[in-house]
Amino acid sequence: MGVVVTVLSFEHQAPVDLLIEFDKIQGDILIGLQKDVEAFVFFKIADVTKFKRALSVAVSPLVTSSRDVRDREEQIAQAKLRGDKTRFLFLGLNLGFTHAGLMELGVNGLDLDESFEAGAHTRGGELEEDTST
């Protein structure tokens, strides 16, 4: 297993990627999307074939990568160095699935945490949330 290493120079040079492909990792995983507001959309997969096609053609190209997020962080840092107080309008998209969704898509054989496999609805009481809807 590789180690994620980003080497930064003290002379404000661009980071150097080692052992990781930032283009293939969603932006909220390593760094976190820059956001003032976020929205969550929940859905059920009615037709796996159509869903996979739509995901591949219409959604996947829009997913914000870790490289995008890191580039945005650099843009913010450079603006701050210039004394620029601009608020950037960064839009980002990440995609996540429940265990049931992964199973519906045929993703099997993963070693997942038991609480993830059981589903969030089983832990709602721990969080004092209404899980009846």
Question: For the segment 20-70, what is each residue's pLDDT rounded down to a tens digit?
Answer: 888 889 999 988 999 988 888 888 999 999 999 999 999 999 999 999 999
In a domain, 46, yes or no: yes
In a domain, 85, yes or no: yes
In a domain, 133, yes or no: no
What integer pLDDT is reported at residue 18 of this predicted model?
64
Residue type, 28: D
- Integer Cα distance of 112 and 102 in angstroms: 11
Indicate the pTM of the whole model: 0.69
In a domain, 15, yes or no: no
In a domain, 84, yes or no: yes
Are the beta carbons of 30 and 19 closer than 8 angstroms? no
Which residues touch 81 (CB under 8 Å, ≥6 apart)?
12
For 29, the domain range is 23-127
In a domain, 12, yes or no: no
In a domain, 107, yes or no: yes
In a domain, 115, yes or no: yes
Number of domains in the chain: 1
What integer pLDDT is reported at residue 119 of this predicted model?
83
